[in-house]
Structure 1
Amino acid sequence: MQSTLTATQLQQVLLLIEEAHNAPNAQALRQCVVYGVGAMVESSSCAWTELKSDLFTTTTATATVVDISDKDVDVNESIQLFNRYASQHPVIARAVHSGNANAQSISDFLTRSEFQNLELYQYLYKHLHTEDQLSVGFVENGYVTGLSVNRATWGFTENERSLLNHVARCVFPFYRILQKDNHSETENRPMVETYMGIITEQYQVLGITPREGDVLALIARGKSNKQIALAFNISEGTVKKHVENLFRRMEVNNRVSLTIKAMTMIQIGRHL
């Protein structure tokens, strides 16, 4: 995926990922991401939603989780309305039928008048001040999990799509870990530590050596060359050489871009 993010945005994304990966449980991760994305993208609110993916064969959906950044919203009422009209949502429909996980907006599929004519809009989104919505998600084990940015205006930029894609591709795999390991030690381990182990195991996916994988794992943890040298009992010069090799192999020129690209390439969820 070609990044259109600025250096500042990449840094913001990495900080959000760090915070999310250290969340103690799934709810804390969801709330962290919802509020973090809302601070980075112009929006009326952001939401994390989960619902059964068989909604297109039934009259209503069943949303099991809804976290929204707008504290004035009646969440229970919103869940009921969303359950009733979710089958009209074009982005959800596309995700269920095609498995497309990239960020897409309602305006990619409908005209503004078509959207406003939907009951989904008239009974729910209109009252949430949502004239368009950008969503990214995944379908797994009969459920659709989605992260959405709601906006009071029409349309989203490619930059905003890229930002949401970066966040989702780095956060969703760790959310899967929390869901799958509810009663294991993994739940209480910082998520970035779990990521470090996965980098070390999946270094071949990135086309790097095992030692470069070790170095990259600590770079993802925010460690300096000196700290990495102490961790592996090697010289700072050797660490510097590993970092230069990583930049060259991954075709990046800074540590933030290196971490984001590695996370994206590995697509951790496919290996769990």
Structure 2
Amino acid sequence: MSPPHGINPDVPHSARVYDFWLGGKDNFEADRRVAEQTMAAVPGVRESARNNRAFLGRAVRHLSRLGIRQFLDLGTGIPSQGNTHEVAQAEAPESRVVYVDNDPIVMSHARALLTSAPEGRTAYIEADVRDPRSILDHPDVLATLDFTQPIALVMVAVLMHIPDHDDPAGLVKAFTEALPPGSYLVLSHLTLDFLDEETAANYLSATGGQAMHRTPRTREQVAGYFDGFELVEPGLVAVSEWRDTPLFTDSATWMYAGVGRKL
């Protein structure tokens, strides 16, 4: 693909690396190189990425069937099959979705490809999750979502890109405090908890503890993001174990996943 204006194809980007793992075509040589290097160091990472994408669909479908009609999707990523609004509007065409990402290439694809059902509404804003007020106060967000009614906050594979010094727990709280009771948090996160000592050590050696600014966290840390929420069954589990059959059988599990209801 040719790089859009303002995009440096020589600098790998997490959204494009993820797109490669999902089988997409919106990536460059630098992204593919990092993706393949990571796959060599991290067995099962591509399968885990695809299971993570499948978790998004299962979670959105589950919440739609519970009556949720509003979704705020942070860290959208490059559009692939089973986007949030597609799943939600297949269940309830009147559903409203706001996509947020800080990558221009992601947003250019989103605006071109993510078309809402006529009964619902879909909006796209370019913003940084580390600045919650710029998102919560954005006119397109306020015009699309009603913050007096339950909203599902979607943070799938997002917080692992936020280093500790940016206070990811504080960011989650800033968003969830704006949601009314009965809202939901959909979240998945990179972890090393499920790995044997050798595999975890290989990962840390290959990435220096981070890969493309990815920070793995423990179950206790991930569970803390659900403060003020009641986890729905089956709780905080491996991403491939959250309801129904996984897309792939993980050779190694790299992600936690959970959905919680605000009390």
* Same fold, TM-score > 0.5, yes or no: no
TM-score (ref. length: structure 1): 0.27
Is the helix fraction higher in 1 or 2?
1
Larger Rg: 1
